[in-house]
Each structure stands twice: as C-alpha cells, then as structure tokens.
Amino acid sequence: MAEEQEFSQQEEAMIDTIGRVRTLEGQYNLLRDRVLIINNNMIEEYKRIMAEMKALNEESREIKKDMFKIKETIKHLVKELELFARKEDLQVLEKYINLWNPLKFTTEDDVKRLIEEHKEKESESNGARK
C-alpha cells in the first residue's frame, strides 16, 4: 500500500507538472502570438512612417524649388526696377520740358500758312501804297 500511495503521489505530481507545463505552453503560445501581432503592427507603422517621410521630403523639395523660383523672380524684378527713372531724373526732365515749352512749337503747315498770310498782307499794303 505504501508503494501504491507513493505511486499515486508521483502520479499526482506528474499530472500536476504536466498541467503546469501545458499552462506554460498556452501562455507561451499567447505571448508568441502577441509578439507576432506587435511585430506586424511595428512593420506596418514603420512602412507608414517611411511613406510619410518620403512625402514630406518630396514636399520639401517642391518648396525649395518654388523658393528658388521666387528668389530668381525677385532678383529679376530688382534688376528691372533699377532701370526705371528716379524721381529726381523725372523732375529734371520736367524742368527742361517747361523751359522749352513744346506746346508753342509750330508745324511746317503753320509756317507755310504764316508766310502766305504775310505775303498777302505785303501785297495788300503794296497795292494800297500805289
């Protein structure tokens, strides 16, 4: 009987050990599944982050290209503005124009008309003297 009791105690210890091993295997399997899920999520997140980084880099390149174009346009505008007349230059021109008074210039037709009128007046005055 002592042997039977010892055998049953060993059997119970064995059953208990097997149960614990199965419990540990189940926990191990759960942990393994969780680690796989975490790894898959990390890979997906990494891919998403890399895609965002690529998009940001592309946007950054576009912005740099646009900024370069804007800078070049501004440089061109500044060069063009340097060619414009200054206020002082326009004031000098205005003084000369006022001095010459081009509105009192006569045309060729006006001169011919004045000569004709003068000739007519001379001929009338010559005719009245006689």
Look up residue 130 and give its DSSP letter.
Answer: -
Across the range 106-123, mean pLDDT stands at 88
Structure tokens at 86: 């200054």
Q: What is the largest CA-CA distance in the chain?
A: 185
User: In which band, very low, low, confident or very high, does the pLDDT at 128 lie, cut at 50, 70 and 90?
Assistant: low
Across the range 20-28, mean pLDDT stands at 97
Can you give the pLDDT at residue 18?
95
pLDDT of 130 above 60: no
Q: pLDDT tens, 67-104?
A: 999 999 999 999 999 888 899 988 998 888 888 876 77
Q: pLDDT tens, 35-65?
A: 999 999 999 999 999 999 999 999 999 999 9
Measured CA to CA, the distance from residue 32 to residue 24 in angstroms comes to: 12
HEC readout, 45-101:
HHHHHHHHHHHHHHHHHHHHHHHHHHHHHHHHHHHHHHHCCCHHHHHHHHHHHHHHC
Across the range 9-35, mean pLDDT stands at 95
pLDDT of 114 above 60: yes
pLDDT of 105 above 70: yes
